[in-house]
């Protein structure tokens, strides 16, 4: 019987993603104290490379000791006091989660809800803020449950013109596509290590603008969470180096190595790699009749959400992919349960070899269920699209 220490998977689900051997090696290095000067140097480099990744000069840029959901909670609990108004945009599971977190903080929460698989139009946010102004507007840049990319340029201007702060979930997008915190004037933006950064789950990169820090510094009440209170955490990540909690030493080693790998590749090159492999997969799936859920132009390059063909046994396909080929993909969440596959091409897993392996395995799974399609069509289409991408 295989144990987790001997299993080798190709992680092509919604996360975690494959981890580079250099990152795994970094994780295994000797643990030192969280106030050791050598470890503080690690934190300094982590912050510098996170600023590079978020494309920001924000000094309050760091890694929360927790997964991506801890990043969400850190952003909300620090900006929201009981009774504060918050508008949350919901078009999938993670907008719903943000709403729940805000309500637990005592926010006076309002929501805009649209069909899953759709992106918000700027006018929808503008109309909502005219009807009910908000202190904070929360929105998901890359909705992992639906594969939708949310454009933010116009929305950011609308939010700031209304006097609100903009809070953005970039858990799935950071490192895989352009998310420029400074250019977009995002006030709080959080992510997770286990997606396009290709680091094990356990840390949540986050950045706060100066405007957001002003709000935090002028709170009338204590932050709901002691552990996630930025007013205290900043004294550890800043020049004072005051103890707050024991940082996950080895996870920070791993994140630092993952960020170094990304810097070596270059942000634009990394985004281009994700986009190219997405286009190859999309062309290949279209050749065997599998359609994407988001509208054209709004698909995420790193998380491909597609409709399951009629009559196909969803759990059987995913089980066969895992057991016969060692490939993990995700099923649908919420309203898309049993209706969608979520195919990840994140970080180290975003490779042409993974695309071709997955397509070969998927055709075998579909053929075993008696699905009618032109055998080999997805592979041929992938080869053709790969040739196009190579010339770009």
pLDDT, residue 150, reads 98
Q: Which pLDDT belongs to residue 6?
A: 65
Cα dist. 315→134, 206, 321, 329 in Å?
42, 35, 10, 11
What is the per-residue pLDDT for 338?
94
- Please state, in angstroms and rounded to a whole number, the distance separating the CA atoms of residues 182 and 54: 8
- Average pLDDT value for the chain: 96
In words, the CATH class of domain 267-391 is alpha beta
pLDDT of residue 293: 97
Q: Reply yes or no on domain 21-264 having CATH 3.10.20.30.
A: no
Looking at residue 239, its pLDDT comes to 73
pLDDT in 10s for each residue of the chain, 392 residues? 566 656 789 999 999 999 999 999 999 999 999 989 999 999 999 999 999 999 999 999 999 999 999 999 999 999 999 999 999 999 999 999 999 999 999 999 999 999 999 999 999 999 999 999 999 999 999 999 999 999 999 999 999 999 999 999 999 999 999 999 999 999 999 999 999 999 999 999 999 999 999 999 999 999 999 999 999 999 888 777 788 899 999 999 999 999 999 999 999 999 999 999 999 999 999 999 999 999 999 999 999 999 999 999 999 999 999 999 999 999 999 889 999 999 999 999 999 999 999 999 999 999 999 999 999 999 999 999 999 999 88
Tokens standing for residue 215: 């709000």
Q: What residue spans define the domains of the chain? A: 21-264, 267-391
pLDDT in tens, 303-354: 999 999 999 999 999 999 999 999 999 999 988 999 999 999 999 999 999 9
């Amino acid at each position: 019987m295989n144990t987790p220490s001997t299993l080798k998977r190709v992680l092509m689900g919604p996360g975690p993603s494959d981890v580079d051997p250099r990152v795994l090696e970094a994780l295994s290095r000797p643990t030192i104290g969280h106030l050791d000067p050598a470890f503080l140097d690690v934190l300094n480099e982590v912050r510098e490379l996170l600023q590079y990744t978020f494309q920001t000069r924000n000094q309050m840029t760091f890694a929360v000791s927790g997964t991506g959901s801890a990043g969400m909670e850190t952003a909300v609990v620090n900006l929201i006091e009981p009774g504060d108004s918050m508008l949350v945009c919901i078009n999938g599971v993670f907008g719903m989660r943000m709403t729940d977190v805000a309500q637990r903080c005592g926010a006076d929460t309002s929501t805009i809800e649209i069909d899953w698989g759709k992106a918000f139009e700027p006018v929808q946010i503008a109309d909502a803020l005219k009807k009910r102004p908000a202190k904070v507007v929360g929105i998901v840049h890359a909705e992992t449950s639906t594969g939708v990319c949310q454009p933010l340029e116009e929305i950011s201007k609308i939010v700031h013109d209304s006097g609100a702060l903009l809070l953005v979930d970039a858990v799935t997008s950071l490192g895989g596509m352009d998310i420029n915190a400074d250019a977009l004037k995002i006030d709080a933006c959080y992510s997770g290590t286990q997606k396009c950064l290709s680091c094990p789950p356990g840390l949540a990169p986050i950045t706060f603008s100066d405007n957001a820090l002003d709000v935090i510094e002028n709170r009338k009440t204590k932050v709901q969470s002691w552990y996630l209170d930025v007013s205290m955490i900043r004294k550890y990540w800043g020049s004072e180096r005051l103890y707050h909690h024991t940082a996950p030493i080895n996870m920070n080693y791993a994140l630092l190595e993952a960020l170094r790998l990304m810097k070596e590749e270059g942000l634009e090159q990394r985004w281009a790699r994700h986009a190219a492999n997405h286009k190859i997969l999309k062309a290949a799936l279209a050749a065997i009749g599998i359609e994407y859920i988001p509208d054209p132009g709004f698909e995420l390059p790193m998380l491909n959400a597609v409709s399951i063909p009629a009559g196909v046994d969803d759990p059987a396909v995913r089980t066969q992919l895992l057991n016969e080929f060692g490939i993990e993909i995700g099923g649908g969440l919420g309203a898309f349960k049993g209706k969608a596959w979520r195919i990840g091409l994140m970080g180290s897993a975003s490779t042409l070899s993974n695309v071709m392996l997955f397509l070969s395995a998927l055709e075998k799974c579909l053929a075993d269920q008696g699905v009618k399609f032109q055998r080999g069509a997805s592979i041929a289409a992938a080869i053709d699209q790969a040739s196009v991408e190579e010339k770009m």
